[in-house]
């Protein structure tokens, strides 16, 4: 398909999906207030498909080493829930991120295959960094320059969508009843730590420990605010566990930037559990980890990847050990639209100058293309869609981008009588989403956030409507 036609198609897809989602929030909230759909004939159709990038493909937006080899494959794994109104699709992808049009294109493709609408599809990325970071508008922007690496190669992107459609179509032919649901949690030891713990007397960030950290003084500091629990929500056909969704909040990288594709310790733990429990589809979701990483416990050495893998695996097993299935009574799907204000200091003209300046490093040109894409999206008033699947007293909450851990903890506090499992890294358009009170304290995450602090109130209000 020529680029012009592809652009026209994607713009049409975005506009249609956005218009549909604007109507969805009120409709689904009304359904929830009425108790949701009775779960009399529910069925579930798990699916999975390969999304490993080809040799030479850009990783993490093109500013780290491209693909030179594959240590282990990247996957998209999810399920279709049938029998509660139009089908519901939930999917986790082993990519760094899906932003703006790219995210909507994924939701639209999976919706078409499942026979539903895009607002009833949640696509969340796990956020490994030796993986693609897809924004279609950013790809167009950098390719107009002629001297920058791809953000995402379009043929590969479209091939993934075709594989996704085929996987969902095939899964629907093999759907099976789902009668029970269970939720549990297990504590993960020595993985997650807060990145923003080294501050001056005024609370401003002085240094950050990232996914890895070689500074002994930073590693010696306390864990800081985290959510130590790995949560599992599992769907059953009678006493047979069919799908198990696992949730944990940390950046899922031990080391990266070497061009070797890997699902890293979170994906490897999931694969280990999958190998020994083949009759159940295991899915891993990264929670609100914008300010959470393994830096306190990870120096970036290769020896620590299997150790971190083992700790996540133990968390999965311990969480599953607490599962107590209960018959499914009511099911509801809810959505809320989020349309935040862009950062006031983001100027389209200044961003275009940075992108076109060949003296800037690649990261100083490709990253601004994501910022410019965000501005262009907001000019079109295309909202982010938050969503939640409610089953009995369990809520699966789907949030965008790199939300700070405070949003996950806040969502859980809103409904103490419910089990709330949060997946972040949905639509990555806003990049980082710090809390409003962290903006004055600076630091890396605040420096690359694309929204004004008012996004905090919008996100908390949206979560409140989805989990209460």
- Chain segment 110-138, per-residue pLDDT in tens: 999 999 999 999 999 999 999 999 999 99
| The pLDDT value given to residue 3 | 36
pLDDT tier for residue 223 given thresholds of 50, 70 and 90: very high
86-100, pLDDT tens digit by residue? Answer: 999 999 999 999 999
Tell me what the pLDDT averaged over the chain comes to: 93
pLDDT tier for residue 468 given thresholds of 50, 70 and 90: confident
Q: In 3-state terms, what secondary structure has residue 298?
A: coil
393-436, pLDDT tens digit by residue? Answer: 999 999 999 999 999 999 999 999 999 999 999 999 999 999 99
Element at 281 (helix H, strand E): strand 281-286
| The pLDDT value given to residue 36 | 65
Q: What percent of the chain clears pLDDT 90, i.e. is strictly above it?
A: 91
| The pLDDT value given to residue 110 | 98
pLDDT tier for residue 18 given thresholds of 50, 70 and 90: very low
* Pick from 211, 212, 315, 239: nearest CA to 270: 315
Residue 8 predicted with pLDDT over 60 = no
Q: What is the pLDDT averaged over residues 318-336?
A: 97
| The pLDDT value given to residue 265 | 98
d(CA 267, CA 218): 27
Q: What percent of the chain clears pLDDT 70, i.e. is strictly above it?
A: 92
| Residue ranges of E strands in 301-347 | 326-327, 330-338
Q: What is the pLDDT averaged over residues 32-41?
A: 60
d(CA 446, CA 370): 16
Residue 188 predicted with pLDDT over 90 = yes
Residue 10 predicted with pLDDT over 70 = no
Tokens of 252: 């899922």
* Pick from 148, 150, 152: nearest CA to 365: 148
Residue 21 predicted with pLDDT over 50 = no
Q: What is the pLDDT averaged over residues 56-84?
A: 97
d(CA 103, CA 401): 11
Torsion of CA 165, 245, 104, 370, to 10 degrees: -130
Sign of the torsion angle spanned by Cα atoms 288, 290, 295, 301: positive
Let me know how many helices (H) and strands (E) the chain has, helices first.
Answer: 12, 25
| The pLDDT value given to residue 160 | 98
272-288, pLDDT tens digit by residue? Answer: 999 999 999 999 999 99
Q: What is the pLDDT averaged over residues 326-339?
A: 97
Per DSSP, helices labelled H in 357-454 are: 363-379, 405-414, 444-447
Question: Per the confidence metrics, is the pTM higher than 0.75?
Answer: yes
| The pLDDT value given to residue 25 | 42
pLDDT tier for residue 40 given thresholds of 50, 70 and 90: confident
d(CA 59, CA 129): 7
Question: Which residues in 345-373 are b (16+ Cβ under 10 Å) and which e?
Answer: ebeeeebeebbeeeeeebeebbbbbbbbb
d(CA 273, CA 263): 14
| The pLDDT value given to residue 24 | 43
Place of tokens 């009511």: 330
| The pLDDT value given to residue 6 | 38
| The pLDDT value given to residue 7 | 41
pLDDT tier for residue 37 given thresholds of 50, 70 and 90: low
| The pLDDT value given to residue 457 | 98
Show Cβ contacts of residue 78 under 8 Å, excluding neighbours closer than 6 positions: 46, 47, 48, 89, 90, 91, 92, 110, 283
Residue 71 predicted with pLDDT over 50 = yes
Cβ atoms within 10 Å of 123's Cβ, excluding its own: 28
């Amino acid at each position: 398909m020529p680029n012009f036609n592809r652009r026209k198609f994607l713009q049409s897809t975005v506009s249609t999906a956005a218009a549909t989602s604007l109507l969805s929030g009120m409709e689904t909230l009304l359904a929830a207030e009425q108790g949701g759909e009775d779960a009399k004939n529910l069925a579930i159709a798990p699916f999975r498909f390969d999304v490993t990038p080809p040799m030479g493909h850009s990783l993490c937006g093109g500013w780290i080493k491209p693909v030179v080899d594959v240590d282990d494959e990247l996957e998209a794994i999810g399920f279709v829930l049938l029998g509660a109104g139009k089908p519901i699709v939930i999917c986790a992808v082993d990519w760094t991120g899906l932003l703006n049009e790219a995210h909507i294109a994924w939701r639209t493709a999976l919706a078409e295959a499942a026979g539903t609408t895009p607002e009833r599809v949640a696509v969340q990325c796990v956020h490994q960094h030796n993986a693609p970071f897809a924004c279609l508008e950013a790809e167009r922007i950098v390719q107009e320059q002629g001297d920058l690496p791809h953000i995402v190669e379009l043929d590969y992107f479209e091939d993934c969508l075709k594989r996704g459609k085929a996987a969902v179509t095939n899964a629907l032919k093999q759907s099976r009843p789902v009668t029970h649901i269970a939720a549990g949690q297990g504590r993960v030891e020595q993985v997650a730590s807060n990145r923003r713990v080294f501050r001056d007397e005024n609370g401003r960030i002085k240094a950050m420990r990232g996914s890895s950290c070689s500074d002994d003084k930073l590693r010696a500091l306390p864990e800081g605010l985290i959510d130590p629990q790995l949560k599992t929500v599992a769907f059953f056909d009678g006493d047979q566990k069919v799908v198990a969704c696992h949730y944990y909040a940390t950046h899922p990288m031990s080391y990266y930037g070497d061009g070797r594709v890997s699902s890293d310790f979170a994906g490897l733990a999931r694969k280990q559990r999958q190998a020994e429990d083949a009759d159940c589809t295991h899915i891993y979701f990264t929670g609100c980890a914008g300010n959470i990483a393994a830096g306190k416990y990870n120096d970036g050495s290769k020896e620590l990847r299997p150790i971190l893998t083992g700790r996540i695996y133990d968390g999965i097993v311990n969480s599953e050990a607490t599962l107590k299935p209960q018959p499914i009574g009511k099911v509801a799907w809810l959505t809320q639209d989020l349309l935040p204000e862009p950062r006031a200091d983001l100027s389209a003209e200044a961003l275009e100058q940075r992108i076109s300046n060949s003296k800037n490093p690649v990261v100083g040109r490709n990253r601004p293309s994501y910022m410019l894409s965000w501005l262009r999206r907001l000019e079109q008033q295309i909202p982010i869609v938050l969503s939640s699947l409610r089953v009995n007293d369990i809520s699966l909450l789907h949030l965008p981008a790199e939300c700070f851990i405070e949003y996950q903890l806040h969502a859980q506090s809103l409904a103490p009588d419910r089990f709330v499992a949060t997946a972040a890294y949905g639509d990555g358009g806003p990049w980082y989403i710090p809390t409003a009170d962290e903006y004055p304290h600076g630091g890396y995450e605040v420096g690359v956030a694309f929204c004004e602090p008012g996004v905090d109130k919008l996100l908390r209000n949206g979560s409140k409507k989805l989990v209460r």
